[in-house]
Amino acid sequence: MIPAISLIESRSPHAPADVVASFPAAGEAGVQAAVLLAQAVQHDWAARNASARATALARAADAVEGAADELAALVVREVGKPVTEARAEVARSVSILRYYAQQVFDPVGAVHEPSGAGLLFTRRRPLGVAGLITPWNFPLAIPLWKAAPALAFGNTVVLKPAPQALACALRLAELLDLNEFQVVPGGAEEGAALAETADVVSFTGSAAAGALVRAAAVRRGVPVQTEMGGHNAAIVLPDADLESAAAQIAAAAMGFAGQKCTATRRIIAVGNGDEVRQAVLAAVARLGFGDPSDPGTVVGPLIDEAARDRVTVAAASAAAGVGRILAGGRIAGGTGEGGAGSRAGSRQAFGGLGGWYVEPTVVDGLFADHPLAREEVFGPICVVQDAASADEAVALANGVRYGLASAVYTRDLDRALDLSARLDTGLVRVNAPTSGVDFYLPFGGEKDSGYGGREQGKAAQDFYTSSHTVTVSPSR
């Protein structure tokens, strides 16, 4: 019997009848074939001189830049990212490619004093085929912040993108136009197959899938990094500029419908709970909501129906206990009950939206051990918590299994420095939203948010190469 071919399909979250991509899944055999192909060309790629690799990456940057409008529109259509953010993601993708095109020329080792006569030096070498497994929420930037350094330092790449972002990945491959960069359509099965075959594995996605990928790679003894979810806290101290803090927090919690690993999930008010609640609710109500292709939109749709339902179920479960819904909590836009409402102050009424929309949701009154106060729900939902002191706020912020990003709002420099040294997150941001990332600095999480070394910036060279120590002694 011929096995059924499974199709990988992506649909527009704003208009779910719109099929954006539909391709047969590569299957385990397809992944193995792609890895073999990548292995076959890796030696030549690594043997090219640095200028040749730099030129290839610079050309790729030009190609992505030349297609900027088209790519931004595709990101909007395929994953529902608001167009302003989609354009920024394309611009960042170009910068990432240019940055690693230059990093090709960085030193690959160091010369040391030999113990006798001769030469003692280290030299970093590529690892082989990099297997990249990526999520849908940054469908260009995440594949590129892994692939660009992998390629720059002499590896070849097999990318297994999220099914929901397949069209973006395939278009990226066309634009890069490199034999050394291949995309395999697929889901969990293909991701698992890649983790079983690549020479180095870099994963970004949920904590559950990351744990499986990590276990497979560690079992085989190949380098692996897994960047996963967060439950990011923003601490608002009594001396903070409340208006600015609230505006940043609202955008960080609800922008792109809260579908960023670094989105603010918890707001911790230190002795100023009433004012913080009021300011945040007002700021949330001002956010543009609706069609992601509208330049005024900040909060668009959720990626799919299941993601939308996880938000409303989480809100309902909180409200069924001790929690109170301060804003939102309902499906918006006529795809289910509670839709077609409108919020005073919002730029656009909900009515007429056909996609996977949920009202931006703020929940109050939960104990710290409530699932919503401890676990990531990947959508526009956050909780407000109170702390009597800065110490209590730090304990609350650190009291979850994640450790990706945190923010502190204060005008007191001593406080800012003290808290930034005690928050156990990979990113600590003072008077800046949890959701910002600089591509030229190391990025990654602590605890269940990250494993296996940082990515991006200069940290990427360490991950995609291994250091060899070379001793050269005189022949006699």
Per DSSP, 229 falls in state: -
Q: Which one among 10, 12, 204, 461 touches ligand NAD, defined by CB under 6 A?
A: 204
3-state secondary structure 265-293: EEEEEECCHHHHHHHHHHHHHHCCECCCC
Per CB under 6 A, which of residues 237..296 are in contact with ligand NAD? 261
Q: Does 212 bind ligand NAD (CB under 6 A)?
A: yes
Among residues 22, 39, 27, which one has the least CA distance to residue 192? 27
Q: Which one among 126, 131, 143, 205 touches ligand NAD, defined by CB under 6 A?
A: 205
Length of the chain, in residues: 476
Catalytic: which of 168, 190, 261, 376? 261
Interface segment toward ligand NAD; rule CB under 6 A; list 201-209, 281-289, 411-419, 460-468: 201-209
- Whole-angstrom Cα distance, residue 243 to residue 137? 28
Phi-psi region of 135 (alpha: psi -120 to 50; beta: other; left: phi over 0): beta
Interface segment toward ligand NAD; rule CB under 6 A; list 81-89, 206-214, 329-337, 466-474: 206-214
Looking at the Cβ atoms of 134 and 346, the one nearer to ligand NAD is 134
Position 421, amino acid: A
Looking at the Cβ atoms of 133 and 276, the one nearer to ligand NAD is 133
299, 360 Cβ separation under 8 angstroms: yes
Q: Does 96 bind ligand NAD (CB under 6 A)?
A: no
Interface segment toward ligand NAD; rule CB under 6 A; list 63-71, 131-139, 232-240, 330-338: 131-139
149, 104 Cβ separation under 8 angstroms: no
Q: Is 476 exposed, middle or buried (0-12, 13-18, 19+ CB in 10 A)?
A: exposed
Taking residue 80's Cβ as centre, other Cβ atoms within 10 Å add up to: 30
Catalytic: which of 85, 89, 196, 227? 227
Read off φ and ψ for residue 432, nearest 5 degrees.
Answer: -145, 150
Looking at the Cβ atoms of 61 and 165, the one nearer to ligand NAD is 165
Q: Which one among 64, 94, 97, 133 touches ligand NAD, defined by CB under 6 A?
A: 133
Pairing of strands 405-409, 232-236: parallel
Catalytic residue status for 382: no
Read off φ and ψ for residue 205, nearest 5 degrees.
Answer: 165, -150
Looking at the Cβ atoms of 365 and 457, the one nearer to ligand NAD is 457
Q: Does 209 bind ligand NAD (CB under 6 A)?
A: yes
Q: Least distance to ligand NAD from the beta carbon of 102, Å?
A: 23
Q: Does 187 bind ligand NAD (CB under 6 A)?
A: yes
Q: Least distance to ligand NAD from the beta carbon of 389, Å?
A: 30
Catalytic residue status for 227: yes
Q: Residue 418, CB half-sphere, CA atoms under 13 Å: how many? A: 11
Q: Which one among 229, 323, 333, 433 touches ligand NAD, defined by CB under 6 A?
A: 229
Q: Does 182 bind ligand NAD (CB under 6 A)?
A: no
386, 236 Cβ separation under 8 angstroms: no
DSSP string, 148-204: HHHHHTT-EEEEE--GGGHHHHHHHHHHH--TTEEE---SHHHHHHHHTT-SEEEEE
Helix (H) / strand (E) containing 334: none
Looking at the Cβ atoms of 186 and 339, the one nearer to ligand NAD is 186
379, 302 Cβ separation under 8 angstroms: yes
Per CB under 6 A, which of residues 437..476 are in contact with ligand NAD? 445
Looking at the Cβ atoms of 230 and 300, the one nearer to ligand NAD is 230
Interface segment toward ligand NAD; rule CB under 6 A; list 199-207, 232-240, 246-254, 281-289: 199-207
Give the SS3 label for residue 359.
coil
Quick note: the x/- pattern for ligand NAD over 19-58, rule CB under 6 A, is ----------------------------------------
Q: Does 227 bind ligand NAD (CB under 6 A)?
A: yes
Quick note: the x/- pattern for ligand NAD over 63-92, rule CB under 6 A, is ------------------------------
- Whole-angstrom Cα distance, residue 390 to residue 415? 9
328, 358 Cβ separation under 8 angstroms: yes
Looking at the Cβ atoms of 144 and 192, the one nearer to ligand NAD is 192
DSSP string, 389-400: SHHHHHHHHHSS
Q: Least distance to ligand NAD from the beta carbon of 139, Å?
A: 10
Q: Which one among 42, 93, 137, 465 touches ligand NAD, defined by CB under 6 A?
A: 137
Give the pair of three-digit tokens for residue 199.
């020479």
Helices 207-220, 188-195: inter-axial angle, 10-degree rounding: 30
Looking at the Cβ atoms of 8 and 247, the one nearer to ligand NAD is 8
Looking at the Cβ atoms of 381 and 390, the one nearer to ligand NAD is 381
397, 378 Cβ separation under 8 angstroms: no
Q: Does 213 bind ligand NAD (CB under 6 A)?
A: yes
Just list the catalytic residues. 227, 261
Q: Using CB under 6 A, list all residues that contact ligand NAD.
A: 133-137, 160-163, 187-188, 191-192, 195, 204-206, 209, 212-213, 227-230, 261, 376, 378, 404, 445
